[in-house]
């Protein structure tokens, strides 16, 4: 009679240990997986930003992007100026049966018209249905996560900082031009600023510049109402700017009185 080998008992112990563990099978599609925030699912299109430069189509190694457009004459804004032509996007389609998700089209787009979306549930039984037109690509923009926030103490992008500096200089110039007229008329500086703003077609509160941040209370309320995170974030920022402008205007009125 042979003595059982030690390996046999080790194998039985491993089997028993595995049998007593709870199952780890994900019950998809009833339970959705937790995907990383920057998951590469599909490519979404911001149609308003596309200038039909064709750069994404030329750089695509699989030639799976199809673009059609036509030229349209735009009348001049000023009298005596020449009319100009612009490209109008007619079709923008991506064949995801050919796409290898390299992301080159997103990186080479100079106008931020293409974005990664974490959406991945677009399987179909027909291969031809994997070619999605611009309407479907535009709808996926709702699932695109917002860009990561800037690091604490990081400088603003050059475009934003230059725009804020130009706006401040314009506001100071308008205030300096309105001050002498207000003194001569014996009116308050605030009334003169209002008159100058009325001539330029702008409101007085347009001179108030507030760095947009998220109003957390409004953001949580919109998320609870079922809004997408992108829409909730944009509306929460707008609410924060409105509140800050109202607070600054109230402080100015108190200082003037």
- Check: CB of residue 43 under 8 Å from CB of residue 99: yes
Residues 194 and 228 in one domain: no
Residues 178 and 189 in one domain: yes
**What pLDDT sits at residue 204?**
45
Residues 176 and 90 in one domain: no
- Check: CB of residue 233 under 8 Å from CB of residue 214: yes
**What pLDDT sits at residue 2?**
57
Long-range contacts of 103-108 (CB under 8 A, 24+ apart): 103/40, 104/56, 104/59, 104/60, 104/61, 105/43, 105/56, 105/57, 105/59, 105/60, 105/65, 106/43, 106/56, 108/55, 108/56, 108/59
Give the number of domains in the chain: 3
**What pLDDT sits at residue 63?**
94
Any domain includes 230: yes
Residues 116 and 48 in one domain: yes
Residues 61 and 115 in one domain: yes
Residues 139 and 49 in one domain: yes
Residues 133 and 213 in one domain: no
Low-confidence residues in the chain, pLDDT < 50: 1, 201-205
Segments in the chain forming alpha helices (H): 6-20, 55-59, 104-108, 134-139, 158-185, 189-200, 216-224, 229-256
Q: Which residue has the tokens 């080790």?
A: 10
**What pLDDT sits at residue 183?**
66
Any domain includes 159: no
Residues 127 and 186 in one domain: no
Any domain includes 22: no
pLDDT digits (tens, 9 = 90+) for 132-184: 999 999 999 999 988 777 777 777 777 777 777 888 888 888 888 877 766 66
Any domain includes 28: no
Any domain includes 62: yes
Residue numbers of the domain that contains 65: 42-143
**What pLDDT sits at residue 160?**
73
What CATH number does residue 54 fall under? 3.30.70.3270
Any domain includes 29: no
Any domain includes 179: yes
Residues 215 and 200 in one domain: no
Distance CA 233, CA 216 (A): 9
């Amino acid at each position: 009679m042979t003595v059982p080998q030690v390996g046999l008992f080790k194998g039985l112990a491993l089997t028993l240990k595995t049998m007593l563990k709870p199952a780890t099978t994900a019950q998809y599609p009833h339970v959705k997986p937790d995907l990383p925030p920057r998951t590469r699912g599909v490519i979404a299109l911001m149609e308003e930003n596309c200038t039909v430069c064709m750069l994404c189509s030329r750089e695509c190694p699989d030639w799976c992007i199809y673009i059609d457009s036509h030229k349209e004459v735009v009348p001049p804004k000023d009298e005596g100026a020449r009319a100009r032509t612009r490209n109008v996007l007619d079709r923008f389609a991506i064949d995801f049966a050919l796409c290898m998700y390299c992301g080159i089209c997103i990186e080479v787009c100079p106008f931020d018209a293409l974005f990664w979306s974490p959406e991945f549930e677009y399987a179909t039984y027909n291969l031809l249905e994997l070619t999605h037109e611009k309407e479907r690509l535009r709808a996926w923009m709702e699932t695109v996560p917002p860009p990561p926030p800037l690091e604490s103490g990081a400088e603003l992008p050059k475009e934003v900082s230059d725009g804020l500096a130009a706006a401040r200089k314009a506001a100071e110039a308008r205030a300096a031009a309105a001050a002498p007229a207000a003194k001569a008329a014996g009116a308050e500086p605030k009334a003169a600023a209002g008159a100058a703003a009325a001539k330029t077609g702008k409101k007085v509160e347009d001179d108030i510049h507030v760095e947009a941040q998220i109003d957390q209370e409004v953001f949580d309320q919109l998320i609870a109402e079922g809004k997408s995170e992108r829409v909730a974030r944009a509306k929460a920022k707008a609410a924060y700017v409105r509140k800050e402008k109202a607070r600054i205007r109230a402080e100015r009125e108190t200082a003037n009185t």
